[in-house]
Structure 1
Amino acid sequence: MHLVPAERAGHRIIDGHRVCDAVAAIGDPDRVRAWADRFSLLADANRLALLLALHRAGPLAVSDLAVATGMRDPAVSQALRLLRAAGAVAGEKEGRVVRYRVVDEATARLLDEYAANAPV
C-alpha cells in the first residue's frame, strides 16, 4: 500500500491494490480543488448558458449576452465578474464596449464535450 497516506495506513483495507489505484486516480488534492471550483462555475445554469454562448459565438458584449440568454444586463455583468475572477473568461475593451470570451482551455474542452453530446 505504497500510495496510502501515512495518516490512513492503519485503517482496515480490503482491496489494497484498488485502494492504491483510487489514491492515484484522485491525485493531488490541490488539483482536485481546482477542478471542483471549475465544476462549481458550470453548476449554475445562467453561468453555463453564458459560457456556452461565448464559446460558440465568440466574443460578445454584456447586452448581447443578455439577449442571447434571456438574463438581465446586471445579472450578466455579475456572472461575468465571477467568471472573470475565476479565469474562465476575459474581456477586451473596444472603445466603450467590452466583449468577453472564454480563455480557460479546460473549461473550453468541457464546453466542447457538452456541445458534442447535446441533443440536436
Structure 2
Amino acid sequence: MHLVPEERAHRRTIDEHTVCEAIEGIGDTARIAEWSSRFALLGEPGRLALLLAVHHGGPIAVTDLAIATGISDTAVSQMLRLLRASGTVTPHKDGRIVRYRLSDARTAALLDSLGAAAQG
C-alpha cells in the first residue's frame, strides 16, 4: 500500500491494489480543489446557460447574452463578473461594446462533452 498516507496506513483494506489505484485516480488535492471550483461555476443553471451561450456564440456582448439566455442584463453582468474573476471568460473591447469569450480550455472541453451527451 505504497500510496496510502501514513495516517491511514493502519486501517485494514479489502484490496490493497484497488486502494492504491483509487488514490492515484484522486491525484493532487490542489487539482481536486481546482476542479471543484470549476464544477461549482457550472452548477448553477443560469451560469451554465451563460457559459454555453458564450462558448457557442462568443465573442458575444452582454445584451446579446441576456437575449439568448432569457436572463436580465444586470444578472448577466453579475455572472460575468464572477466568471471573469475565475478566469473562465475574458472581455474584449470592440469599440464601445465589450464582448466575452470563453478563455478556459478545460471548461470548453466540459461544455463540448455536455453538448455531445445531449445529442447522443
Q: Please tell me the TM-score bracket, short chain as reference.
A: over 0.9
1:5 Cα offset (Å): 0.7
1:94 aligned onto 2:65:
no
Q: Deviations over 1:11-37 (max 9, x none)?
A: 121111110000000000000110011
- Could you say which residue in structure 2 is the equivalent of 1:33? 33
Alignment-mate amino acid for residue 27 of structure 2? G
- Match for 1:71: what amino acid? I
* Partner in structure 1 of residue 112 of structure 2: 112
Amino acid across the alignment from 2:83:
L
Which letter maps to 1:112?
A: D
Counterpart CA distance in 2 for 1:55 and 1:110 is: 11
Amino acid at match of 1:5: P
Structure 1: segments with no counterpart, 5+ residues: none
Distance 2:20 2:119 in 1: 38
Structure 2 residue runs of 5 or longer lacking an equivalent are none
Cα distance in 1, alignment partners of residues 88 and 35 from structure 2: 12
**Structure-2 residue corresponding to 1:103:** 103
Task: Tell me which amino acid in the other structure corresponds to 1:64.
Answer: D
Q: 1:85 corresponds to which residue?
A: 85
- Indicate the SS of the match to 1:33: helix
Which stretches of structure 1, 4 residues or more, deviate above 3 A after TM superposition?
none
Say whether 1:43 aligns with 2:43.
yes
> For each residue in 1:53-80, what CA deviation from the matched residue of structure 2 results, as whole angstroms up to 9, or x when unmatched?
1111121111110000000011000100
> How many angstroms apart in 2 are the aligned matches of 1:117 and 1:14?
35
